[in-house]
Amino acid sequence: MSIIAPCLATLCSLLGDAASADPQIAYEPVIDAAPVAPPVAPPAPPAPPAPAAMERALAPLAGASALGDAGLRLGRAELFKGGKLLLTNGVATAEGSSGGGLARWATIGGRQMPGGIGASLHATAIELADYGWRSYGVLVGVGDRLELSYARADFDTRKVGVLLGIGEGYAFNLDTFGAKLRLAGDLVYGAAAMPQIAIGIEHKRSRDGALVRALGAAAASGTDVTLSATKLLLGHSLLANATLRYTKANELGLLGFGAAGAGHELHLEGSLAYQLSRRAVVGTEYRSKPDNLGLSEDDWIDLFAAYALTRHLTVTAAYVDLGAIATIPGQRGGFLSAQVAF
């Protein structure tokens, strides 16, 4: 104490002197001072445009709303941030997976990029000569890797129900739980010869167990295994898809699974589509199917057009020829589907 006191007194006197001699030393308002022109001015040529810089500076504020492009976060994953190119998430198939309407593709649904989580909802109506199909479903996409989907389909037999002996307007109902895992490749990027490849399953449960067994089906539920390869061939504006499906489903499972002496078979789904613009694509699909029940079940074909109205909303319209269903031939008609994706 006795040592520090004189020291402090000296400092204080020094401080007093210094402050009175040159008050600017300690209190110069450095932060508010006008910036000194940099000694080396860069030679003039093209000065960066000020408006662009200003836009950049203001830009982060533009999308700062809770559900703006910044998206939400779920742990380390970005929720609903999007980022996919238009239509590269595919459209919902009849079974709820991402694909082309009837055929499953190797695409992962939802608009998310790697590190993100996305989702989509869809509703589909098919009007045939004698039947009506309604389906709707939900899908969650995890990065560019995994897709989980659920779809519910209601198949109305209308007046034909009387003919089939099950009553007018009897509806078959089917739940489909799907999972798809991308193994390799990229739909858009990378070598043209390397498609996006995915394996998947579709576990289906008929809600009409007693009836489908009476029709001859061996089971009311079954699981398809799929292997898909899909590529956008930019040089030709073509999207090509091939899917192998190992299945025993009768009419996708609406009429149960398998039959006496009929188990899983390997079937093919093919799609070829032409990109008219970023938003519009037209194409055709073929899907082979088993005929386990001997009800002259036919292969399916369609001609479709899909249009991305916005980043989030895609509508698909198609002409479908589903051949004979439950012995009633000539089941052709219109397919309309809407998908909302995040």
Partner 1 sequence: MLLVTCAAALMLLQQAPAEGTDWDAEFGIAAKERDPLTGEFPVAPYEQSNANAGAAPYASGALVAAFGGREGIVRIAARTVELSEADPRIAAIFASHDMVRLKRTLGEQLCYLIGAGCDYTGRDMRSAHADMGLTKADLNALVENLQAAMREAGVPFAAQNRLLAKLAPMAREVVTR
- Interacting residues with partner 1 (CB under 8 A): 4, 7-8, 11-12, 14-15, 18, 24-26, 28, 30, 36, 39-40, 42-43, 45-46, 48, 52, 55-56, 59-60, 62-63, 69, 83-85, 113-115, 144, 186, 188-192, 233-237, 275-278
Q: Decide the pairing of beta strands 116-128 and 313-321.
A: unpaired
Residue 262: φ, ψ to 5° = -125, 120
DSSP line for 81-92: --BPPTTTT-EE
Cβ 44 to partner 1 shortest distance, Å: 8
Gap between the Cα atoms of 286 and 267, Å rounded: 11
Helix (H, G, I), strand (E, B) or coil at 61: helix
Contact predicate 188/85, CB 8 Å: yes
Residues 6+ apart with CB under 8 A from 73: 79
Closest CB to partner 1 among residues 48, 165: 48
Write down how long the chain is.
Answer: 342
Closest CB to partner 1 among residues 18, 268: 18
Residues 6+ apart with CB under 8 A from 337: 91, 92, 101, 122, 123, 124, 125, 315, 316, 317
Closest CB to partner 1 among residues 87, 293: 87
Closest CB to partner 1 among residues 115, 294: 115
Cβ 108 to partner 1 shortest distance, Å: 12
- Residue written as token pair 């990027």: 189
Cβ 141 to partner 1 shortest distance, Å: 14
Cβ 58 to partner 1 shortest distance, Å: 9
Closest CB to partner 1 among residues 173, 277: 277
Closest CB to partner 1 among residues 14, 340: 14
Cβ 9 to partner 1 shortest distance, Å: 11
Cβ 115 to partner 1 shortest distance, Å: 8
